[in-house]
A and B are shown apart, each in its own frame.
Chain A
Amino acid sequence: MTELVDAVRSARRVVAVGAGTKPRLAQVPAEFRRISTAKLSGIVDYEPSEFTFTALAGTPLREIAAEVAQRGQYLPFDPVLTDAGATLGGTVAAGLSGPGRFRFGGLRDFILGVRFVDGSGRLLRLGGRVVKNAAGFDVPKFFVGAAGRFGVMAELTFKVFPRPAGLRTLRLDAQDGAAQVRMLQEAANTRWEIDALEAALEESAIWIRLGGAPVALDALTAEIAARWPARTLGEAEAATFWSELAGFRWAHADGTLAKVAMAPAQVGAFRAAVRAVPGARGWVSNGGNTGYVSLPAGAALPALTWPAVTLRGTGPLWSGPTRRFDVMRAVKAALDPENRFPNLDD
């Protein structure tokens, strides 16, 4: 910790880097000192009975997921790029959640506390270490998706949930894009309490994941299959499907990858926008609220009507209709008066 504070204090400009699985976040000019969180690794405290853990920012998610799994728990925001080595801090900075965010919410809904070094080199702890806390402003949430623009995270506290006893994955085929959107919306409004709801862009398929007691899942699966043509994936097939998805295996390995925030009704427009770019691929996550675009190496993101964040590759970090207000500069100056961290527009 003191090393981290010293490192922040001793450099004019600083950016934190984790495992580099979302390299665009830390793609800043050479004048920046890059502080690696690799050594800031380890679970500090895990209380299964509290549904909470605290871990250092550089802790690989893989390690956390394995540890909580031993006690039958999981990270309900369903982190991505876990196999690639993504760290907890990097995932917070990127604001990335996986398909499972559909059910209980994203990373922002499970972060409870943050310990960070601000731009003045002070080590601060805000938020709390218990599942419920309303004291002080919600700074932990504010760090989600902030790409290290306000401080270097040292330690994070999260809420976890008990893992559902069983999982089932179904693949549904829609007739066309319009039917796909309708199915996304309708499936989200059922009694089924769907765990994940994903859609492909290249084909009109939808994937539904259910979680709960296995006997209950048999009945729900049958009901879904009676409503729409569906195929239940075998256990191994399903595991591969979700892990490949979490690894963005469908995307160009060395290209540009961006996340888009949209609404389910806009999936059709999103498809059209992706198709308009030669070689582009896309994926729809989170019931149609999250889109991903992947472009071949060297290609930059086209102008989109949705706010986007580029995770790797070229182009601006944040693009689309991201609104800028005076207060944003004021908040940046409040947490980082000497402008040590990258700017909001870097």
Chain B
Amino acid sequence: MDTLTSASPSAAVVRRLTALLPPGRVLAGPAQLAAYESDGLTAFQATPLAVVVPETADDVIAVVRFCHAEKLPFVARGSGTSLSGGSTPIAGGIVITLNRLNRILRLDPAERVAVVEPGVINLAVTAAAQPYGLHYAPDPSSQSICTIGGNVAFNAGGAHCLKYGMTSNHVLGVKAVLATGEVVEFGGPSREQTGPDWTGLFVGNEGLFGIALEVTLQLLPRAEMFHTVLAGYRTLEQAGDAVAAVVASGLLPGAIEIMDALALQAASAAVHADYPPGCEAVLIVELEGPREVVAADRVRLDAILAASKPVEVRPARDAAERLAIWKGRKSAFSAVGRLSPDFIVQDGVVPRRRLGEALRKISAWSKEMNVRCANVFHAGDGNLHPLILYDGREAGALERAEALAGRILRLCIEMGGSITGEHGVGMEKREYLPEMFSPDEIDCLKRLRAAFDPLGIANPGKMFPVAGAPALAQHGLHPLEQAGVISRE
């Protein structure tokens, strides 16, 4: 990249871009750019040419049209919490940060719909809906900081996907500026639609189609009652069997989560969570719904858990105990991260019935390769979250950690699962996409991408494999986790 001497072509681009917008919206100083060099996957770093801070949808449209005219790559950015390098800048490209587009444009409690700008924080939607007894269901653990735009781009999940689905199941419509500069509106306020599901195609595009400007979300009534149980088991396999038994029983819990020994140890240390001693695994099951339904279902759940050979079963007796269970669960990831200078987090999916087998293999590999690995995951969805610990200063440690990560991803594919359940492919897993899809299938995905973005300027280098790209891995905690603002699942 050429340096920004005032005569360089890049400097001229920045000048033209600056002229396009009200003063102060374009940042190009080295110190200003440094803050945007990476996302939650801090191993990837690149210096953009400039960072644009639009305040209105029209600003965003103008910038995207400018990029299109100049064939300049751009990356949309919400809060930069992507764990797969999705919002890492393109060297020499533009970063368009959407945090100032943070208005809730409409919230209609009678229709249970909210229309929001992309920079609105996930939890802010629920906060705004709360006075009406409503909430926005998708709850990634980063929900206090990540944006709806980022959620839409990645089809973010959370702890309650089993019953409620992912982001895509709650997005009714999207207004977006595509990489071509065209402004489109897909879907609408209705929970029904006619014709091809353009909204569904847009959600999960990983920023490769364009930039979402307005998102219509469905809101749901908040569950009246929760029944949250924590059960400790001697072995991970027993916990896995208990999941199978719960699922086979015909109950539909809101969440089913598992934490393994290393995760328990870390959570105990970090938030003083108290777990049954001598357990290699803890299972969390949460029922929710009208109080009468929960009361009836909990009788069945209690019986199933009692028969599952637990060391101990602890139902939350009140809201405070429920919160404590979730606090331990949600802090586990960051807590494990604190045990080690560096780590890689994966989010592959395996068929639920093969969870035990997958965990056994991961544990055997971890011993064999001498790499520590903690597991905290959405057991109800078969969505693993192995956290692979290493010390980047130790020669060969990163390579060993990456080798384990690679084996886990391949295991997920072999078992008929997926390389990612909710964090997206991004840069991190792009080399694995061809192991999940055939060349023809990748070609089809690329053609779709080209239909939305013929110049390939929207978030290039993500999702699809890049010849000769270096393999990189996650180092350490996200700065916001370090500060204790967020925790990860």
Contacts and interface: CB of A to CB of B under 8 A. Distances in A.
A307 B195 contact: yes
Q: Top 6 closest A-B pairs, CB basis?
A: A141-B200, A213-B296, A216-B292, A330-B451, A334-B447, A146-B196
Interface in B437-457: 437-438, 440-441, 444-445, 447-452, 454
Nearest to B199: A141
9 contacts: A97-B192, A104-B165, A108-B200, A109-B169, A124-B444, A126-B445, A138-B203, A189-B133, A289-B190
A190 interface: yes
Contacts of B194: 95, 145, 259-261, 307-309, 318, 320, 322
Contacts of B297: 212-213
B165 A325 contact: no
Interface string A37-61: 0000000000111110000000000
Interface string B194-222: 11111011011100000000000000010
Interface string A102-132: 0011101100000000100011111011111
B372 interface: no
A178 interface: no
Interface stretch (B62-70, B242-250, B337-345): B242-250
Interface stretch (B34-42, B109-117, B264-272, B475-483): B109-117
A71 to B, nearest CB: 9
B196 A124 contact: no
B252 interface: yes
Contacts of A307: 188, 193-195
Given A133-B418, A220-B290, A334-B451, A261 B193 contact: yes
Interface stretch (B12-20, B46-54, B317-325, B350-358): B350-358
A318 B195 contact: yes
Contacts of B161: 131-132
Place the interface of chain A in its size category. 35 or more
A135 B192 contact: no
A252 B478 CA distance: 61
A125 B165 CA distance: 22
Contacts of A142: 196-198, 200-201
Contact of A145 (B165, B197, B251, B416): B197
B110 A135 contact: no
Given A263-B189, A330-B452, A334-B447, A137 B201 contact: yes
A134 interface: yes
B160 interface: no
Interface stretch (B99-107, B141-149, B308-316, B422-430): B422-430
Interface string A309-346: 10000000010101101111011011100000000100
A263 B109 CA distance: 13
Given A137-B204, A138-B155, 20 more contacts: A49-B244, A49-B247, A50-B352, A101-B191, A104-B165, A118-B444, A125-B441, A130-B381, A130-B417, A134-B155, A134-B418, A134-B422, A136-B445, A139-B448, A141-B201, A142-B201, A162-B251, A189-B109, A191-B223, A323-B185
